[in-house]
């Protein structure tokens, strides 16, 4: 009987340890992802270098190795980027990083919510909008809200919550009326 309890408690401890290790690794990779994204966004020449499909793979690989050494990436991050270069997939690096971030958010039961408005929202307005759209997020999830300003909307807002998209902008309403007016009678 005692051995059964010991085995069960050992299993629980192992599962808890595995969860902590997975969270630690996820945090580590997320930090490296943020570092890589920031470096690529900051260095326009390197970004163009990554996206250039006409460059020979050997030249691109040499440039990537030099960049990784200069950026002081870990061997794991360097190997990943070098493998992307060898396979001619550097132009998809941002997509992969975005998908990884989505997977991390899903594992934490978080849902990305992007609210786009014509003018910047005050904190009170953003809170009110966030509260009103919480019901569209999956039950038990946490919204990670990002506010974006797009003057082309003229007024109103758009909101994307995970896979859902709501367009309550004045621009869309105007376009609908224009289409109705332009249609033949």
CA 157/CA 119 separation, integer angstroms: 9
Q: What is the mean pLDDT of residues 130-155?
A: 93
DSSP letters along 34-97, please? HHHHHHHHH-HHHHHHHH-TTS-HHHHHHHHHHHHHHHT--HHHHHHHHHHHHTT-GGGHHHHH
Q: Greater confidence, 27 or 92?
A: 92
What is the model's pLDDT at position 67?
82
Q: What percent of the chain has pLDDT over 90?
A: 38
Per-residue pLDDT reduced to its tens digit, 44-85? 887 787 778 888 888 888 888 888 888 787 888 888 888 888
Q: Is residue 3 predicted with pLDDT exceeding 70?
A: no
What is the model's pLDDT at position 18?
58
Q: What is the mean pLDDT of residues 126-149?
A: 93
What is the model's pLDDT at position 2?
53
Contacts 24+ apart (CB under 8 A), 136-140: 136/161, 136/164, 136/166, 137/111, 137/113, 137/161, 137/162, 138/111, 138/162, 140/109
Average pLDDT of the chain is 83
Q: Which helix (H) or strand (E) holds 100?
A: helix 93-107
What is the model's pLDDT at position 76?
81
Q: What is the mean pLDDT of residues 157-162?
A: 94
Top-confidence range, 13-17, 45-49, 120-124? 120-124
CA 185/CA 183 separation, integer angstroms: 6
């Amino acid at each position: 009987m005692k051995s059964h309890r010991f085995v069960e408690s050992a299993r629980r401890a192992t599962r808890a340890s595995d969860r902590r290790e997975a969270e630690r690794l996820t945090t580590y990779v997320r930090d490296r992802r943020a570092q890589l994204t920031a470096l690529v966004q900051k260095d326009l020449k390197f970004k163009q270098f990554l996206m250039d499909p006409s460059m020979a793979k050997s030249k691109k690989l040499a440039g990537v190795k030099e960049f990784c050494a200069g950026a002081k990436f870990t061997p794991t991050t360097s190997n990943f980027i070098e493998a992307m270069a060898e396979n001619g997939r550097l132009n998809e690096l941002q997509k992969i990083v975005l998908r990884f971030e989505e997977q991390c958010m899903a594992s934490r039961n978080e849902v990305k919510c992007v609210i786009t408005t014509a003018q910047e929202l005050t904190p009170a307005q953003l809170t009110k909008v966030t509260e009103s759209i919480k019901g569209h997020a999956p039950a038990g999830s946490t919204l990670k809200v990002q506010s974006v300003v797009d003057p082309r909307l003229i007024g109103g807002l758009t909101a994307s919550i995970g896979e859902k998209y709501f367009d309550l902008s004045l621009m869309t309403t105007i376009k609908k009326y224009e289409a109705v007016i332009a249609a033949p009678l």
